[in-house]
Amino acid sequence: MSTAAATHEHHGPATGIKRWLFTTNHKDIGTLYLLFSLLMFLTGGAMAMVIRAELFQPGLQLVDPHFFNQMTTVHGLIMVFGAVMPAFTGLANWMIPMMIGAPDMALPRMNNWSFWILPFAFAILLMSLFMDGGGPAFGWTFYAPLSTTYSNDNTALFVFAIHIMGASSIMGAINVIVTIVNLRAPGMKWMKLPLFVWTWLITAFLLIAVMPVLAGAVTMVLTDKYFGTDFFNAAGGGDPVMFQHIFWFFGHPEVYIMILPAFGIISTIVPTFSRKKLFGYSSMVYATASIALLSFVVWAHHMFTTGMPLAGELFFMYSTMLISVPTGVKVFNWVATMWRGSISFEAPMMFAIAFIVLFTLGGFSGLMLAITPVDFQYHDTYFVVAHFHYVLVTGAVFSIMAAAYYWLPKWTGHMYSTTLAKWHFWMSLISVNVLFFPMHFVGLAGMPRRIPDYALQFADFNAIISIGGFAFGLSQLLFVAVVFKCIKAGEKAPAKVWDGAEGLEWQVASPAPYHTFETPPEVK
Amino acid sequence: MKQLCSLMLLCLFVPQLAFANSKYNLRPGVTDISENVYQLHMTIFIICCVIGVIVFSVMFWALLRHRKSKGATAATFHESTKVEILWTAIPFLILIGMAVPATKTLIAMEDTSKADVTIKITGSQWKWHYEYMGHDLGFYSLLATPQGQIKNAEAKGENYLLEVDKPLVIPTGKKVRFLMTSDDVIHSWWVPDFAVKKDANPGFINEAWTKVNEAGIYRGQCAELCGQDHGFMPVVVEAKSPEEFDTWLAEQKQAMLDQADADAALLDQTLSHEELMSTGEQVYMTRCVACHQPTGLGVPGVFPAIKGSPIATGEIKDHIDIVVHGKPGTAMQAFVSQLTIKELASVVTYQRNAFGNDTGDTVQPSAIQAFIDGEEQ
């Protein structure tokens, strides 16, 4: 007995920096991912502040157009690959083993590796900003030939950084799939899986399908630029439009990679605080799978103005419109879950409700963008910027905040300051709409995206947008305060933090012990 | 917020009147197609608003009535195949309702046949070139807003960033076909009032068309990120009555002939260093300044400096060569078709003497012509 206890001691965390560098523990790695993502969120946010400061007034005031383009490009890359995706991977690391009754992720050493290559990727990307000629300035979509023939010599750093991010994502995805398929506790049947696990499983398949396509695209950019190939160079028989087809074949599933786990989070939180089972569990699973499948056949709706045959435009318009059907089903199911529930408004629920309303708003503008003839007017204007920030900020980012407020007591063992959390919520909610809602107006009125200066009729709204931007940026410091205060101290949290919560993660103590479910629980 | 609500209400009840040409909304424009596009936009917008209002009324009702603090106890229902089928089928039918008018408009937009006038539009960093097919007429169209306004040294004009030195001129009431292509990166030619936005891709020719109902000046911008000065590449189109258009066309052709005569006359003249320098400065400040900068220092790692450059201080022939022919595979364009020989001579002279380059060289238009002719032999 005493020896058993002694060996058990050895499984505790190492001390100091070694704990974090060499860890193979899913909880430690989850924490690393989440903190890294928070750091990147603030870094990318700082770049957004530069963009909004320059756009506060017409005319060039603070930065030159070349640097402005670097800011829009790196802001996009950091938010997509550095903030949103690692945050979801962090949540997957922390929660999936605990939700399915597994002791850890299936491939713990690879787990360590897939996290620890990320800081290098972003260091390379950020370093390029300080080199002669600056960082990537061709938009996060890096359309050729702007990113090949006409880019500067630092493009190789961008390519290398993207390769590392892609490798990290693929490894993370493999780990998620292997864990879910093999390590479910006895009795955890497929149709009993928590929805967060389902949505992540489907996301992981999307990642494995499309990250290699992105790797192919950046490799072709690399060889076109440095090794004399002509994949995208029309003068050498290549095709610049093909670049866009390849990029968006990755890019469209990518946007679902950033939203499907969010659906899982909302489907977890809404039932908890409605104290009622999720309405239409199986239809939620099928809707997620249909969205994932449809995401492979809609990519060219990003390219309606590139000059496609009529039949192509019609096909991609119809297939894109279809996506609103399963997405609608999800929203209806969430509303039906709340209907005749016993609802209370804790911080996670408030973010979840805001998600439902504002994500749907982004969905509506998405449906409008699907209509090809009108898309010709919307395309590459601030209307598009408004659309994807509604689905990514008030969608993906709000769901991540909701998840953090939902599971933070489980991770730290402390309850956070609910007052501060509510302040964070209301300030974010108001400022985010001041920030993104007027973008619809300037977009419809004709302001193109990715410009450092604009015509005078857009001036009033841009000033408002910038003020909203600064307020939203500052509000996020409250979130940082809540998180770090909660890590340090706070009221002791019980095992089951929320009275309406269900799932295996609430059966273990708070904070979750370093090792959980070493003997699998029995799921009835 | 109040303004926002009234806006929403306004567009719900009076879609036809709702802020035509306003700062808030898409514009109906000046063609039948743009009007159709506008109607399509409003229809779908209103459908989305109605769906949103219904769904969120239900949700907010639940949030108000079914809350724990009001003593609500949770019901236990959690699935209904019937309801799921219903809310899959109804949106599907609504989508079909949207797809029908959208398909009709799209088919009309893509029909570029039977055009009266064809204009080839070529984008390059950061200007548009317009060529009237079959008329032997073509010209470049560049941003006309002075640098002083952009750098906040002067008050900004009414059409700040949306004004060009030479607008595209088209006739009203005629079907005008546009052929888009590019010399370097991808650009996108956009005039919101026509609902025409089409990418100009290198190596490809895209088609679009318009038939403008009202004479007037219509402004747009490049819509595809095309590098540093993407935001400074406006599109201005002047629609004139067919008679005025014909007169304009004849004038332009005459002007081109006059220019050729002027160039020929220059060959026998020797221009003063001062004249070349002052013309050169003007050309530099409109054509070269975006990349090489007003200081001549360029942007390190992106655009080379003129100050102390081996080309601008070395062999005159090499200098003329790079200005005339550009440098393939870089942003440096061939200016032979963009500038007159006087302008070419002036700008080379200017670059060789400004920014402390002090070579003391004077390059005459005849030297430029000799260089071009020498190439041809």
Distance CA A395, CA A383 (A): 17
CB pairs under 8 A between A and B: 300
Is B202 an interface residue toward A (CB < 8 Å)? yes
Mean pLDDT, rounded, for B66-84: 91
For chain B positions 95-154, those within 8 Å of chain A (CB to CB) are 95, 98-99, 102-103, 105-107, 109-110, 125, 149-152
Q: What is the structure's pLDDT at B5?
A: 53
B66/A340 Cβ within 8 A: yes
Handedness of CA A278, A279, A283, A288 (dihedral sign): negative
A121 or A10, higher pLDDT: A121
Q: Which two tokens stand for residue A440?
A: 């619809």
Q: Which residue of A310, A342, A453 is in closest CB contact with B106? A: A310
Contact present, A165 and A476 (Cβ < 8 Å): no
pLDDT digits (tens, 9 = 90+) for B111-161: 999 999 999 999 999 999 999 999 889 999 999 999 899 999 999 999 999
How many Å lie between the alpha carbon of A461 and the closest alpha carbon of chain B? 9
Secondary structure, 3-state, A31-75 = HHHHHHHHHHHHHHHHHHHHHHHHCCCCCCCCCCHHHHHHHHHHH
| Contact across the interface for B55 and A448, Cβ inside 8 Å | no
The region of weakest confidence among A241-255, A287-301, A324-338, B343-357 is: B343-357
User: Where are any strands of DSSP class E within A111-255?
Assistant: none
**B8/B15 Cα distance (integer angstroms):** 10
Model confidence band, residue B217 (pLDDT cutoffs 50, 70, 90): very high
Single out the residue of A2, A13, A23, A4 nearest to residue A512, CA to CA. A13
Residues B72-96: what's their mean pLDDT? 92
Do residues B250 and B230 make contact, with C-beta atoms less than 8 angstroms apart?
A: no
Contact B224 A143 (CB under 8 A): yes
Pairing of strands B176-182, B206-210: antiparallel
A241/B183 Cα distance (integer angstroms): 15
Is residue B360 over pLDDT 90?
A: no
Residue whose entry in the numeric block shows the structure tokens 């888009």: B180
Shortest distance, CA B216 to any CA of chain A (angstroms): 18
Q: What values do phi and psi take at B189, rounded to 5?
A: -90, 120
Phi, psi (deg, nearest 5) at residue A231: -55, -45
Average of per-residue pLDDT values in chain B: 89
Do the beta carbons of residue B137 and residue B199 sit within 8 Å?
no
Give the mean pLDDT of A50-74. 96
Digit-coded pLDDT (tens) for A288-297 = 999 999 999 9
Digit-coded pLDDT (tens) for A457-489: 999 999 999 999 999 999 999 999 999 999 999
B198 to A307: CB separation less than 8 angstroms, yes or no: yes
Which residue from A306, A441, A445 is facing B201, i.e. has the nearest CB? A306
Q: Which are the catalytic amino acids of A?
A: 75, 104, 140, 168-169, 252, 254, 256, 267, 301-302, 327, 330, 449
